């Protein structure tokens, strides 16, 4: 009898960038682990994201590649703005920008982890900086009196934004960045925001979990859309979202 149990796939740095197994082959334990090894080149990262795969590991581990089931996502139309967040937005105590301090945002996300084994390793910092220079990774910055106090970053491909991490140094600063991200996505035609793993923080903002197969179907539908143009331009404000969200 043939053993159909999924086996962990090992990647060599010299393997072609798209040498990932089908995400359905991910392990049940640890849940979602698909492959080990390879590298963090721009080509391999892009190949991974196009397949719904992302890297997540610590300094003392090899590169680990994941495709979790279920998958946490946020559809831009489903953003939920609480009454308290709406008040924060109306006070206009924060200003928000796009791609003005990518390095500062990813550094803020790294320092935001109390665990000294943070998954945003030095190699990850370098890899996503390279993705940013190549025009694929983007940041949203939240500012308070000229100081960076929150933000998020991720990868944009087709009509999908793959969120990677967010941080906050002041109340609601990361949530304000997410509201801005959703506003940008609505403006430039992004249909799906990948949140990777569920959290109460993201759920409070409207994210929900869907099965891996459903995520893959959505990915296949949207990833081939033309790359959105508008990250460097002023996007729609948040006023319409304040008024229109529950």
Would you kindly state where each structural domain of the chain is located, as residue ranges?
Answer: 9-68, 72-244
User: Are the C-beta atoms of residues 54 and 32 closer than 8 Å to each other?
Assistant: no
Note the pLDDT of residue 120: 87
Alpha helix ranges (H) inside 51-172? 83-91, 102-111, 122-133
Note the pLDDT of residue 200: 94
pLDDT at 243 over 50: no
Instruction: Specify the 3-state DSSP secondary structure of 100.
Output: coil
**Per-residue pLDDT reduced to its tens digit, 52-66:** 999 999 888 999 999
> Candidates 3.90.1150.10, 3.40.50.2000, 3.30.1330.40, 3.40.630.70; correct CATH number of 72-244?
3.40.630.70
Note the pLDDT of residue 226: 86
User: Are the C-beta atoms of residues 36 and 21 closer than 8 Å to each other?
Assistant: no
**Per-residue pLDDT reduced to its tens digit, 12-23:** 999 999 999 999
Note the pLDDT of residue 70: 97
Min mean pLDDT across 110-119, 120-129, 214-223 is at 110-119
Architecture of the 9-68 domain = 2-Layer Sandwich (3.30)
**Per-residue pLDDT reduced to its tens digit, 21-49:** 999 999 999 999 999 999 999 999 999 99
Nearest in space to 23 (alpha carbons), one of 35, 36, 11:
35
Note the pLDDT of residue 116: 46
pLDDT band for 239, please (50, 70, 90 cuts): very low
Percent of the chain whose predicted confidence (pLDDT) is above 70? 88
Across residues 66-85, what is the average pLDDT?
A: 97
Q: How far is CA 84 from CA 91, 94, 149, 173, 206, in A?
A: 11, 15, 18, 13, 15
CA 56 to chain centre: 12
Long-range contacts of 216-224 (CB under 8 A, 24+ apart): 216/23, 216/52, 218/73, 218/160, 218/191, 218/192, 219/50, 219/51, 219/52, 219/160, 219/192, 222/158, 222/159, 222/160, 222/191, 222/192, 223/50, 223/157, 223/158, 223/159, 223/160, 224/158
pLDDT at 4 over 70: no
pLDDT at 117 over 50: no
Cα distance between residue 87 and residue 179, in whole Å? 13
Note the pLDDT of residue 119: 72
Q: How far is CA 188 from CA 53, 160, 172, 223, in A?
A: 24, 11, 24, 14
pLDDT at 154 over 70: yes
Across residues 179-192, what is the average pLDDT?
A: 95
Note the pLDDT of residue 5: 63
């Amino acid at each position: 009898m043939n053993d159909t149990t999924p086996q962990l796939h090992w990647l060599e740095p010299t393997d072609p960038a798209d040498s990932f197994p089908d995400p359905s082959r991910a392990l049940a334990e640890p849940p979602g682990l698909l492959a080990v090894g390879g590298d963090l080149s721009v080509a391999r990262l892009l190949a991974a994201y196009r397949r719904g795969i992302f890297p997540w590991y610590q300094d003392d581990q090899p590169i680990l590649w994941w495709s979790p089931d279920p998958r946490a996502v946020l559809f831009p139309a489903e953003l939920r703005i609480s009454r308290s967040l709406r008040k924060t937005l109306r006070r206009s105590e924060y200003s928000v920008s796009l791609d003005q301090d990518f390095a500062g945002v990813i550094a803020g996300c790294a320092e935001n982890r109390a665990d000294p084994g943070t998954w945003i390793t030095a190699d990850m910092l370098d890899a996503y900086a390279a993705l940013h220079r190549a025009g694929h990774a983007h940041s949203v910055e939240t500012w308070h009196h000229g100081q960076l106090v929150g933000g998020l970053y991720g990868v944009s491909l087709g009509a999908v934004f793959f969120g990677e991490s967010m941080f906050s140094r002041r109340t609601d600063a990361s949530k304000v960045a997410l509201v801005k991200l959703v506003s940008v996505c609505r403006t430039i035609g992004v249909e799906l925001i990948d949140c990777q793993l569920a959290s109460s923080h993201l759920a409070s903002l409207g994210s929900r979990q869907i099965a891996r197969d459903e995520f893959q179907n959505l990915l296949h539908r949207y990833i081939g859309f033309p790359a959105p143009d508008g990250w460097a331009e002023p996007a729609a404000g948040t006023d319409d979202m304040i008024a229109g969200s529950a």
